[in-house]
Amino acid sequence: MTAPPSDPSSDASFPLMLLGLAVLAAGIGLGLLALLLLRRRRSEPASQTAAYPRLAPAAAYPLRNDPPEPRLPQPALPSEPTSPYGPFDRTDASGPGNGPDGYPPKAFGPVGSVAAIEPETPRPAGLPVAPLSGARLPTPPPTTPIGSDDPTLTNRYQHRALIARGGMGSVYRAYDTRLRRWVAVKVMHPNLSAQSQFRRRFLREAQLAAMLQHPNIVTIYDAEFVDDELQIVMAWIDGEDLQKVIQRESPLEPRRTDRLVGQVADALDHAHHQRQPVYHRDIKPANIMLTPTERVVLTDFGIAKLIGEASLTLTGQFVGTPEYMAPELIQGDESDHRADLYSLGVVLYEMLAGRPPFRADTPLAVLHAQLNVEPPSPREYAPGLSPAVEQVVLKALAKDPAGRYQSGRDLSIALGEAIAAG
């Protein structure tokens, strides 16, 4: 007799078969899902598939199509500048660059300083440059105390050295810690800073001077009243003043004189022809800076004018400089831009003759001569000058403003023509 077939459900291998079928079904389902996703991805636009980038080296797969970010220029280390009122003596062991601050002397040629970026002056050879990556801009050495009577500048302008001190105030070489550049800071005399009206007029005049954007006028960066001190921050000039040049090289050659005077005249015309004219009132060789390329830079615009308006007499200090003052300023008459042109005429005389037209034992005697004595011929001190050049100089020194050249351009053209005529 044949036995009946057994029930599959009772077979021990049946659960394994079901498990295998389940695994197979799951695999088929996952495969179909993967195929669906792949087809969907291929049908999407490129802007959407960019959200699922393929893995690739970072340098070979930019996340954006923007051009590469430009590299910043390499900053130069701050260098020890010289005074804007004359170069420091680099041979003096006590001078800047040789003291405990660790700054070595720099080979900058005859003037040895770094300007507030002089475009036509190349970077001195050997000046170290900080590497771009992983480098920090250098900071100047710690501030060296100058004395208990010296003002404390703001934290932004760390003063390093006293440059000059006079009746109107003091000038410091300072380092701008925010913009990392050397600047000149002029701090006014306490007697001036204490006058509230003078402070207001000073700051207003500084605003006008700061608007004078001209290659032959010093740039004004800041002016403020801090810790009872009134100060003005200017560009640091790479060079020395004309007074030192005259003392060392006078009389100057006429064509060179023409080039320098022409730049001063152009700067004065620029200031005088502003909507609100700016007068200098203290044109003299000490306020005329020369860069190594002999670009002229005028400094101290408007300060002497404000001193006069403050009606303040400081011990031993005149409003302006007697040798260069126009007669109308001495008399207290109404004056205009032609007073500056008279002072430029005195500078022209001194450049060609080697001395100003009026000299005396006392300032009062000089002022008296400015008012009452005709200037001697510059040919007495420089016989090689032509009569035509002599006439230009003497016209610039006319006592009556109406008899002078009426603009710097007029003076410059007349001087150039006289020199060219021989």
Q: Does the structure show a pLDDT above 90 at 216?
A: yes
Residues above pLDDT 90, as percent of the chain: 43
DSSP classification of residue 388: H
pLDDT, tens digit (0-9, with 9 covering 90-100), for 45-58: 544 444 444 444 44
For residue 1, count CB atoms less than 10 angstroms from its CB and return exposed for 0-12, middle for 13-18, buried for 19 or more.
exposed
Q: Does the structure show a pLDDT above 90 at 213?
A: yes
Q: Does the structure show a pLDDT above 90 at 243?
A: yes
Interatomic CA distance for residues 128 and 138, integer angstroms: 11
Determine the pLDDT at residue 391: 98
Q: Does the structure show a pLDDT above 60 at 205?
A: yes
Q: Does the structure show a pLDDT above 70 at 327?
A: yes
Q: Point out the least confidently predicted range of 32-46, 77-91, 96-110.
A: 96-110
Torsion over CA of 41, 47, 52 and 56, rounded to 10 degrees?
A: 120
Determine the pLDDT at residue 62: 42
Q: Does the structure show a pLDDT above 50 at 88?
A: no
* Best CA proximity match to 160, nearest among 78, 218, 239: 78
Give yes or no for a contact between 382 and 367, defined as CB atoms under 8 angstroms apart.
no
Determine the pLDDT at residue 149: 42
Determine the pLDDT at residue 267: 97
> Greater confidence, 280 or 316?
280
> Greater confidence, 34 or 279?
279
Determine the pLDDT at residue 315: 40
Determine the pLDDT at residue 304: 57
- Cα Dmax for the chain: 162
Give yes or no for a contact between 401 and 371, defined as CB atoms under 8 angstroms apart.
no
Q: Phi, psi at residue 340, to the nearest 5°?
A: -65, -40
Per-residue pLDDT band at 126 (split at 50, 70, 90): very low
Q: Does the structure show a pLDDT above 50 at 371?
A: yes
Determine the pLDDT at residue 132: 32
Q: Point out the least confidently predicted range of 44-48, 58-62, 133-137, 344-348.
A: 133-137
* Best CA proximity match to 202, nearest among 213, 217, 191, 218: 191
**Where do runs of H (alpha helix) occur along 242-386?**
242-249, 254-272, 303-310, 327-331, 337-353, 363-372
Domain layout of the chain by residue ranges: 240-421
Q: Does the structure show a pLDDT above 60 at 139?
A: no
Determine the pLDDT at residue 154: 58
**Positive or negative, the Cα torsion across 226, 229, 232, 238?**
negative
Catalytic residue among 176, 238, 282, 340: 282
Per-residue pLDDT band at 184 (split at 50, 70, 90): very high
Q: Is 282 a catalytic residue?
A: yes
> Greater confidence, 271 or 189?
271
Element (H, E) at 36: helix 14-43
Dihedral-angle region of residue 281 (phi above 0 means left; psi in -120 to 50 means alpha; beta otherwise): left
**Where do runs of H (alpha helix) occur along 194-313?**
196-210, 242-249, 254-272, 303-310
Give yes or no for a contact between 192 and 310, defined as CB atoms under 8 angstroms apart.
yes
DSSP classification of residue 181: E
Q: Does the structure show a pLDDT above 80 at 13?
A: no
* Best CA proximity match to 244, nearest among 114, 98, 88: 88
CATH 1.10.510.10 fits 240-421, yes or no: yes
Q: Does the structure show a pLDDT above 50 at 116?
A: no
> Greater confidence, 157 or 11?
157
> Greater confidence, 64 or 376?
376
Q: Point out the least confidently predicted range of 39-43, 84-88, 154-158.
A: 84-88
Q: Is the pTM of this model over 0.85?
A: no
Interatomic CA distance for residues 190 and 231, integer angstroms: 11
Determine the pLDDT at residue 31: 79
Per-residue pLDDT band at 125 (split at 50, 70, 90): very low
Q: Point out the least confidently predicted range of 59-63, 187-191, 228-232, 408-412.
A: 59-63
Q: Does the structure show a pLDDT above 90 at 319?
A: no
Interatomic CA distance for residues 229 and 226, integer angstroms: 5
Look over the chain and give the mean of its residue pLDDT values, rounded to a whole number: 75
Instruction: Give the DSSP per-residue string, 238-251.
Output: SSEEHHHHHHHHPS
Residues above pLDDT 70, as percent of the chain: 64
Q: Point out the least confidently predicted range of 11-25, 229-243, 383-397.
A: 11-25
